[in-house]
Structure 1
Amino acid sequence: MEINLEVADSPEERVKGLSGRDSLGENEGMVFVFEQPGIYPFWMRQMKFELDFLWVRDCRVVELTEKVPPTAWQSGRAGPTRVSPSQPVDMVIEVNGGFVERHGVELGDKIEKC
């Protein structure tokens, strides 16, 4: 499968991400590339649709977080839901919620053009 990815490469683009958008096309997403592997948290601030997160290290999917809802709030915390990987990653891909299931994305899948 091919995903048309928008690169969030400036600090401003990384903070904003997909916030405020109404939707994404089926094979569209946003990629965040980091110079050093780390545990980078993401939030669902001002999101209007579900997201799947593909957590990537060395061009391989190492973790998946699926169907994160747009308006979910963590119990006991003020503010939008935050998600983060359980291990260091050097790339994160955000796609529509349900993408992982519909396209059979699995741990260990290789990301081309990485």
Structure 2
Amino acid sequence: MGLVASATLVVAACRDDRVELRGDWGQAAFTVEIADDSGERAQGLMNRDQMSRGAGMLFVYPRPQRQVAFWMRNTRIPLDIIYMDRAGVVQRIAHQAVPYDETLLPGGPGIQYVLEINGGLAKSIGIAPGTELRHPAIETPAWSCTE
């Protein structure tokens, strides 16, 4: 009985609509929308007037990309854009991306996941390169959903 209850808790902790991050600063979680096809990734968070503090969007690519870069065309709210490798480890962060700015914000090579959250949150929480993210979409995670 105890094993079944424990397994249920582990599964509940890792959900499609939620990401968890951890680092030497502690842990944080965000409710997310998933952008996992080219249309959803192109639309992103454009034309939105606000996003709750605990929300974000997770962009999922089918494999690590040669180069990933985002811009803020038609995006009305400042964002932190967090670029992660195939294991969900943060490689780079574009802090406080400016609304409507069309300057490319590169994540570098080998990026497979990108998390957008409200601008300023990454720094205030402590999210930095080396932070680990877990989510069911990550096939070879540094931080497993079963931990």
**What is the match of residue 76 of structure 1?**
none
**What is the match of residue 64 of structure 2?**
37
**What is the match of residue 105 of structure 2?**
83
How far apart are the structure 1 equivalents of 2:54 and 2:63?
27
**What is the match of residue 78 of structure 2?**
50
TM-score of the superposed pair, with normalisation by structure 1? 0.87
- 1:90-114 per-residue CA deviation (whole Å, 9 max, x = no partner) reads 1001111101111110211111224
Task: Decide whether the 8 Å contact of 2:68 with 2:108 is kept in 1.
Answer: no
**RMSD of aligned C-alpha atoms?**
1.2
- 1:55-93 per-residue CA deviation (whole Å, 9 max, x = no partner) reads 101111111110010033xxxxxxx22211123211001
How far apart are the structure 1 equivalents of 2:58 and 2:120?
17
How far apart are the structure 2 equivalents of 1:34 and 1:15?
12
Name the SS of the counterpart of 2:122 in structure 1. helix
> Which amino acid in the other structure matches residue 74 of structure 2?
Q
Structure 2's unaligned 5+ residue stretches are 1-27, 139-147
How far apart are the structure 2 equivalents of 1:14 and 1:71?
17
Which has the greater radius of gyration?
2
How far apart are the structure 1 equivalents of 2:59 and 2:82?
10
- The number of aligned residues is 107
What is the Cα deviation at residue 30 of structure 1?
A: 0.5
TM-score of the superposed pair, with normalisation by structure 2? 0.68
Q: Which structure: greater helix fraction?
A: 2
What is the Cα deviation at residue 29 of structure 1?
A: 0.6
What is the Cα deviation at residue 3 of structure 1?
A: 0.7
Task: Decide whether the 8 Å contact of 2:82 with 2:94 is kept in 1.
Answer: yes
